[in-house]
Amino acid sequence: MIRLEPRRSHSQAMVYLSPVLAIVMTLVVGGVIFAFMGKNPLEALYTFFILPISNSYGVSELLVKATPLVIIAIGLAMGFRANVWNIGAEGQLTMGAIFGGGLALYFYDSQSVFLLPAMLVFGAIGGAFWGAIPALLRTRFNANEILTSLMLTYVATLFLSYLVHGPWRNPEGFNFPESRPFPDAGLLPIIYDGTRVHLGTAIAVLVVIAGWLLLSKSLIGFQLRVVGKAPQAARHVGFRQKRMIWFTLLLGGGLSGLAGLFEVAGPIGQLQPSISPGYGFTAIIVAFLGRLHPVGILFGGLIMALTYLGGELAQITLGLPNAVTGLFQGILLFFLLACDVLTKYRIRFGSIAAKGRTA
């Protein structure tokens, strides 16, 4: 029998090294897989991880792709630290896009400079509102937020689908399911000409800094960590768990909603049936890849974004199938979890004598 035995103390350095180690092992295994597929492993890895960011346009696209992932993951990480498992960021993202985007559609001929700020606020409110429902159900009825937040994702997606097929359909769009294009006043300004890097990317950086300050310098950040690590102790000193649940779900929802608004007011420019290729779910991986730490999440988001861009280029230039992208993401997560486990536990090949030692 193979057993896992907790290490009495684990190296702090390994906590931060394990993502790096996981990435290195992913590269090695990826290279082997490419070799088996009959491709030159070095060329394939180059195409996958270097070529996408070998020019300024590629870097700009990396930032555009990472923006929603980072913003959402930071919100989620706060909750995960406090053992609040918000799995429904995708739905909160969608509601943010609906709330903020709806405003742009209502004022579709507006040129007001107040439109965009109002959209940002509405987007955050929409997402927070969608996060508030699982919070209410959890604190009032003790309903598991994993299930409720996940199920609400489907409600949000179908609601968006209803809106763009019905009442919000573009009257000049031949009955196709998409809204009017947003007015210029409702689009995020582009930061660098000739790219798609928009204001949302800059805000994502601010979110990283704010998240870091919140976690390391504020009382509520301290409470989050204590509630997550030692719920008994937290109760003892009077930290209110319900308040943590509300705080993290509203924050996670609000940030997801903001990310959703950035997508529709940024690269997409209108509402349509599909506005996110699953950013809300991918952000969960990003949060853990980044050790639930805002700065780590920034890097995690960039790496995850890179796998998408690399996957596209690998298809275009090497004729590799799209499944390679998912494969890479899966291997990365696998090694990350494996490294984590081995950092905190040691493997024992279980004889009875070994069992005795653990006691």
Enumerate binding residues for another protein (CB under 8 A).
57, 61, 64-65, 158, 161-162, 165-167, 174-177, 181, 196, 263, 266-270, 272-277, 308-309, 312-313, 315-317, 319, 321-322
Angle between helices 279-289 and 294-318 (to 10 degrees): 120
- Give the three-state DSSP class for 345: strand
Alpha carbons 310 and 115: distance in angstroms, whole number: 36
Nearer to another protein, 211 or 301 (CB): 301
Tokens matching residue 121: 């606020």
Alpha carbons 128 and 253: distance in angstroms, whole number: 4
Residue 72 is given by DSSP the state H
Cβ of residue 261: shortest distance to another protein, in angstroms?
13
Tokens matching residue 359: 């006691």
Cβ atoms < 10 Å from Cβ of 79:
29
Residue 278 is given by DSSP the state S
DSSP assignment of 128-177 equals HHHHHHHHHHHHHH---HHHHHHHHHHHHHHHHHHHHHTTTS-TTTTT-S
Cβ of residue 85: shortest distance to another protein, in angstroms?
25
Nearer to another protein, 71 or 309 (CB): 309
Cβ of residue 277: shortest distance to another protein, in angstroms?
4
Alpha carbons 43 and 232: distance in angstroms, whole number: 53
Nearer to another protein, 269 or 294 (CB): 269
Alpha carbons 33 and 42: distance in angstroms, whole number: 11
Cβ of residue 319: shortest distance to another protein, in angstroms?
6
Cβ of residue 68: shortest distance to another protein, in angstroms?
9
Nearer to another protein, 78 or 258 (CB): 258
Residue 183 is given by DSSP the state P
Nearer to another protein, 277 or 350 (CB): 277
Cβ of residue 25: shortest distance to another protein, in angstroms?
26
Q: Which amino acid would we find at residue 150?
A: L
Cβ of residue 167: shortest distance to another protein, in angstroms?
8
Which of 245, 286, 288, 280 shows the shortest CA–CA distance to 153?
280
Cβ of residue 205: shortest distance to another protein, in angstroms?
19
Which of 23, 54, 20 shows the shortest CA–CA distance to 31?
23
Nearer to another protein, 18 or 270 (CB): 270
Residue pair 312/323 in contact (Cβ under 8 Å)? The answer is no
Nearer to another protein, 163 or 287 (CB): 163
- Give the three-state DSSP class for 46: helix
Nearer to another protein, 9 or 175 (CB): 175
Residue pair 260/132 in contact (Cβ under 8 Å)? The answer is no
